[in-house]
């Protein structure tokens, strides 16, 4: 691999999913609190914990609807065996509706706010490494040749189409997706696949160009031809859903062939057939 992800150098882009913490010799605690979703609720919880000399390591907050939010706090307590005391202090604060405190084991603490939930309650996020995903796709292509590449493209196509159909359902219709499509597309970075930028879009003509930096599929390779099949499919599926017509996608620049980022040209399927073959 010739490079690593440039965004890793900016700490403001970091978002840790705490699988576990290790601080040998320390008393570590996980605190889950359900509070009213109002300003200052989390600050009050943190204030109570601070008075117990609780040293916060990680915190995340989710709104769960019905006027409530859930906070997940991980930190170091002032001594072992104080779970019950922390729970009582938090209950006495009057701000929490539910609370659960768990102590780790000998300076080890595992994350409890898992599996990660997605907005669509039928789905949940599964954390696998990019290396695992890509090696699975590579194996398909190596074992099955062009048939494997087609399969990988199909996988991407289905993923893109289904993802954007779901986004539309959550956002109240595809019209709302189209309104802020470039912005929403940038949200793909959160999945760890890479960082897309919408360069241009012409809904009338049915064309678009996307720049895709740090693609897990192409980054670090040195090849003589554009390599992407999965994300080529993903963008074809994405724009098919967004334009509501079958779209084709061609990778016109590829980081595996020396470009700074991969680029994709998306056109209507009939237009692609009439023009240059893809």
**Nearer residue to Zn ion within complex by CB, 134 or 262:** 262
By CB under 5 A, name the one of 216, 254, 261, 266 that touches Zn ion. 254
Single out the residue of 93, 155, 213, 228 in contact with Zn ion (rule: CB under 5 A).
Answer: 228
Query: With contact defined as beta carbons under 8 Å apart, do 198 and 185 qualify?
Result: yes
- Each residue 92-131 as x (binds Zn ion by CB under 5 A) or -, in order, gives ----------------------------------------
Minimum distance between the CB of residue 261 and Zn ion, rounded to whole angstroms? Answer: 8
Q: Specify burial of residue 90 (Cβ count, 10 A radius: 0-12, 13-18, 19+).
A: buried
Contacts of 266 (CB under 8 A, 6+ apart): 207, 208, 209, 210, 235, 236, 239, 247, 248, 249
| Cβ 217 to Zn ion shortest distance, Å | 6
**Which two tokens mark 269?**
């399927």
258: number of Cβ within 10 Å: 10
Percentages helix, strand, coil for the chain, rounded to the nearest 5? 40, 30, 35
Q: Which window, 96-104, 109-117, 154-162, 223-231, contacts Zn ion (CB under 5 A)?
A: 223-231
Each residue 39-78 as x (binds Zn ion by CB under 5 A) or -, in order, gives ----------------------------------------
Give yes or no for residue 218 binding Zn ion (CB under 5 A). Answer: yes
Bridge partner list, 29:
75, 103
Question: Segment contacting Zn ion (CB under 5 A): 19-27, 189-197, 221-229, 234-242?
Answer: 221-229
Where do the DSSP E strands lie in 7-163? Answer: 20-22, 28-36, 55-65, 68-76, 96-103, 108-110, 116-117, 124-125
The size of the interface with Zn ion (CB under 5 A), counted in residues, is: 4
> Residue 70 pairs with which residues in a beta bridge?
34, 62
Nearer to Zn ion, 72 or 141 (CB): 141
User: Kind and range of the H or E element at 138?
Assistant: helix 130-170
Between residues 49 and 254, which has the closer beta carbon with respect to Zn ion?
A: 254
The whole-angstrom separation of Cα 194 and Cα 266 is 18
Q: Which of 177, 262, 266, 272 binds Zn ion (CB under 5 A)?
A: 262
- In 66-206 the beta strands, taken as DSSP E runs, fall at 68-76, 96-103, 108-110, 116-117, 124-125, 195-202
- Minimum CB–partner distance for residue 224 and Zn ion (Å): 12
In the bound complex, what is the minimum distance in angstroms from residue 218's beta carbon to Zn ion? Answer: 3
Asked if 210 is part of the footprint of Zn ion (rule: CB under 5 A), the reply reads: no
Segment lying near Zn ion (by CB under 5 A), choices 3-11, 34-42, 50-58, 260-268 = 260-268
Q: Which residues bind Zn ion (CB under 5 A)?
A: 218, 228, 254, 262
């Amino acid at each position: 691999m010739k490079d690593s992800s440039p965004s890793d150098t900016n700490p403001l882009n970091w978002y840790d999913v705490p699988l576990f913490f290790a601080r040998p010799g320390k008393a570590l605690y996980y605190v889950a609190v359900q509070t009213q979703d109002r300003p200052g609720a989390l600050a009050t919880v943190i204030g109570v914990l601070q008075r117990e000399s609780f040293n916060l390591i990680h915190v995340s907050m989710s709104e769960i609807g019905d006027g409530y939010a859930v906070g997940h706090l991980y930190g170091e307590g002032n001594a072992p065996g104080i779970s019950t005391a922390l729970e009582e202090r938090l209950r006495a604060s009057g701000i929490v509706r539910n609370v659960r405190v768990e102590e780790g084991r000998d300076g080890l603490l595992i994350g409890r706010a898992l599996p990660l939930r997605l907005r669509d309650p039928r789905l949940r996020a599964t954390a696998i490494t990019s290396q695992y995903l890509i090696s699975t796709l590579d194996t398909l292509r190596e074992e099955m040749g062009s048939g494997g590449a087609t399969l990988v493209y199909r996988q991407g196509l289905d993923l893109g189409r289904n993802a954007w159909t779901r986004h539309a359902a959550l956002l109240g219709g595809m019209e709302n997706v189209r309104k802020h499509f470039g912005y929403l597309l940038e949200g793909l970075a959160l999945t760890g696949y890479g960082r897309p930028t919408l360069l241009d879009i012409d809904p009338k003509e049915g064309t678009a160009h996307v720049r895709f930096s740090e693609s897990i599929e192409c980054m670090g390779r040195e090849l003589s031809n554009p390599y992407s099949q999965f994300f080529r499919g993903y963008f074809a599926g994405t724009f098919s859903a967004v334009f509501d017509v079958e779209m084709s996608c061609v990778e016109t620049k590829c980081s595996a062939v020396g470009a700074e980022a991969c680029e994709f040209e998306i056109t209507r399927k009939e237009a692609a057939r009439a023009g240059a073959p893809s």
